[in-house]
Amino acid sequence: EIWNIFFGGRYIILLMGLFSMYTGFIYNDIFSKSMNIFGSSWKIQYNTSTVMTNKELQMNPGSNDLNESPYPVGLDPVWQLASNKIIFLNSYKMKLSIIFGVIHMIFGVCMSVVNFNFFKRRISIVLEFLPQIIFLVLLFAYMVFMMFMKWLQYTAKTDFQPHSPGCAPSVLIMFINMMLFKESEPLHGCDEYMFVAQPTVQRTFVFIALLCIPWMLLGKPFYIMFSRKNKAAAAHQNGGINQQMESSTELADSPAAGGHGHDDEPLSEIFIHQAIHTIEYTLSTVSHTASYLRLWALSLAHAQLSEVLWNMVLSMGLQQTSYVGSIMLFFVFGAWALFTLAILVMMEGLSAFLHTLRLHWVEFMSKFYEGLGYGFQPFSFKLILENDEDVE
Residue 9: which of 335, 375, 259, 352 has the closest Cα? 352
Q: pLDDT category, 239, cuts 50, 70, 90?
A: low
pTM, to two decimals: 0.83
| CA terminus-to-terminus distance, the chain | 32
Rounded CA separation 144/142 (Å): 5
Boundary (domain end) residue, out of 271, 292, 313? 292
The answer to whether residue 190 is domain-embedded is yes
Domain span at 352: 295-370
pLDDT of 270 above 50: yes
The answer to whether residue 141 is domain-embedded is yes
Q: pLDDT category, 322, cuts 50, 70, 90?
A: confident
Q: Report the domain count for the chain.
A: 2
In terms of domains, do 287 and 319 share one?
A: no
Q: pLDDT averaged over the chain?
A: 87
CA angle 324, 330, 332 (to 5 degrees): 95
pLDDT of 331 above 70: yes
pLDDT of 348 above 50: yes
Q: pLDDT category, 255, cuts 50, 70, 90?
A: very low
pLDDT of 236 above 80: no
Boundary (domain end) residue, out of 254, 273, 292? 292
**20 vs 12, 217, 233, 338, CA distance in Å?**
12, 42, 62, 19
In terms of domains, do 147 and 272 share one?
A: yes
In terms of domains, do 236 and 338 share one?
A: no
Boundary (domain end) residue, out of 263, 292, 321? 292
Q: What is the pLDDT of residue 291?
A: 96
HSE at residue 73, side-chain half, CA atoms within 13 A, is 9
Rounded CA separation 355/348 (Å): 10
pLDDT of 258 above 80: no
The answer to whether residue 377 is domain-embedded is no
Is 220 or 317 the better-scoring residue by pLDDT?
220
The model's pLDDT over 350-359, given as tens digits with 9 standing for 90+, comes to 899 999 999 9
Q: What is the pLDDT of residue 63?
A: 80
The answer to whether 40 touches 78, Cβ cutoff 8 Å, is yes
